[in-house]
Amino acid sequence: MKAEQIVLLDPSAVSNPSFGINPSNRSLEDLIRCGFIVINKPSGPSSHQLAAWVRSMLGIKRIGHGGTLDPFATGLLTLLCGRSTKITSELLKKPKRYIAVLRFKESMPEDYFSEIIGNLTGDIFNVPPKESAVKIQVRSRNISESTLIQSGEKGRIHLISISCEAGTYIRTLVKDIGLISGNPCELLELHRIGSGSLEDTMACTMHQLSDAIFLWREHDDDKGLIRLISPVERILDDLPRLIIKDGAVGAISHGAPLARPGIVSMTPGVKSGSRVLLSSMKEEAVAIAELSVDSDEIPNMKSGQVATPSNVIMEPGIYPQTWSRE
C-alpha cells in the first residue's frame, strides 16, 4: 500500500498469526477467490466477451470488469474475480487516462488544435454516442487534461492524451472537437492507459494469461498465474483507512458496524460520510465503509459507532468473531 499519514490509537494491539495473511503472501486459490487481473484488451471483442472467456478459462462462477471499453478500443481492462466484484462500483469511479488518434477531414494546424483541446478541460457536457449501450442523456464530466502528443499526414492526424472523469465518452469528445473547429474529425484509435492507480504497463495479453493457466492446470506450475493476479487491496490503496483489531475484523466480515474500541490506527482529516477502507493489521481489505463521525473526533471517543460497512470484501470465518459492539 502507498505511504500515508496514520494516527496510532492503540500501540499495544497485536494480530494473531493464526488468522488471515498479508495480501502479498496469498496462495493462487486465495487470489482467484478475491483478486483482479489487468488485461491489455485487443480490438474486436467486447469487455463482456473477455470477462466470459476468462471466467471459463479459470473455471470460476463470478468475474466482472471495472469499466467498459468499446469493442474497437484497446488497453487496460480490469477483471475482478470472486469476492472482488463487490468493489466494482468503487473501481468504476476511478479517473481514466487515454491515448487517442484523431483524423480530420482537412489539415488542422498544430497550434490551433492545441488551443482547442487545451480549452476542453474542466466540466463539459458529454452525451453517450449512438454506439453506446448506455441510455442517451446529457451529463457533465470533468476533463482534467487534454494534450497534443504528435501530428502527422500534413496536420490531418493527431495523437492526443486525455485524463478524465470516469464515464467520459471520448468518441463524443472527438465529435465536439470537430464541431468547435469547423473541421469534421473521427476517432481512429482509442487506448486506455490508466484507471486510478492502475497502469497499462501492469497488463497482460490474453495469450499470456492463457499460457499461465495452461501451466497451472497441466503442469502444476502456478508461478506465472500468481504474477498475473493481484490482490484486491491494490485497487483500494487510494482510500483513507481505519486499521482494525482481529476481533473487529471477524464481526465486520459478518456485516456488523465498527465501534471505537475496535480501531488500532486511522487516517486523519477524513470527514463524516466519506468512504474509507477497513483494513486488518495484516493489511487485508475487510470492507469499504462510510464514516459516521469525522476521523479527527475518533481519538477522543471511548465508545460508540464509528463506521458502517457498505461493501464487505472479506469472506466470513477467516477471523473469529470475538469483538462485541461497544
What DSSP letter does each residue of 150-187 carry, written as one string? EEETTTTEEEEEEEE-TT--HHHHHHHHHHHHTS-EEE
Residues 254, 223: one domain?
Answer: no
pLDDT band of 1, cuts 50, 70, 90: very low
Count the Cβ atoms, other than its own, within 10 Å of residue 243.
Answer: 25
CATH number of the domain residue 84 falls in: 3.30.2350.10
Say whether both 108 and 80 belong to one domain. Answer: no
pLDDT exceeds cutoff 90 at 245: yes
Q: H-helix or E-strand containing 290?
A: strand 285-291
Nearest to 231 by CA among 313, 288, 312, 320: 313
In-domain check, residue 247: yes
Nearest to 251 by CA among 197, 326, 153, 196: 326
Residue 139, classed as helix, strand or coil, is: strand
Q: What is the pLDDT of residue 133?
A: 46
**Which carries the bigger pLDDT value, residue 326 or residue 149?**
149
Asked if residue 156 and residue 15 are part of one domain, the reply reads no
Q: How many structural domains compose the chain?
A: 3
Would the pLDDT of 154 be above 60? Answer: yes
The dihedrals phi and psi of 143, each to the nearest 5 degrees, come to -105, 115
- Using a pLDDT cut of 70, give the percent of the chain over it: 94
pLDDT at res. 293 = 96
**How many CB atoms sit inside 10 A of residue 104's CB?**
19
Q: Which residues are catalytic?
A: 70
Task: Write out the DSSP string of 56-97.
Answer: HHHT-S-EEESS---TT-EEEEEEEEGGGGGGHHHHHTS-EE
Same domain membership, residue 108 and residue 50: no
What is the sign, positive or negative, of the torsion defined by CA atoms of 100, 105, 111, 117? negative
DSSP line for 208-231: HHHHHHHHHHHH---HHHHHHEEE
State the pLDDT confidence band at 137, using cuts at 50, 70 and 90: low
Same domain, 47 and 126: no
Q: Do 281 and 19 contact (CB within 8 A), yes or no?
A: no
Q: Check whether residue 190 and residue 102 sit in a common domain.
A: yes
Average pLDDT score over the chain: 92
Domain boundary among 187, 207, 233: 233
% of the chain with per-residue pLDDT over 90: 84
> Do residues 203 and 85 share a domain?
yes
How far is the C-alpha of 117 from the C-alpha of 176, rounded, in Å? 10
Q: Is the pLDDT of residue 63 over 80?
A: yes
List, for residues 163-177, the tens digit of each pLDDT value. 999 989 899 899 999
User: At residue 325, does pLDDT exceed 70?
Assistant: no
pLDDT band at 319, cuts 50/70/90? very high
Give me the domain span that covers residue 169: 96-195
DSSP H or E stretch at residue 306: strand 305-312
* 213 and 88, same domain (yes or no): yes
- Cα 158 versus chain centre, distance: 29
Residue 268 forms part of a structural domain: yes
Q: Which residues pair with 139 in a beta bridge?
A: 126
Would you say residue 183 lies in a domain? yes
Task: Say if residue 82 is in the same domain as residue 227.
Answer: yes
Same domain, 87 and 207: yes
Q: Is 191 part of a structural domain of the chain?
A: yes
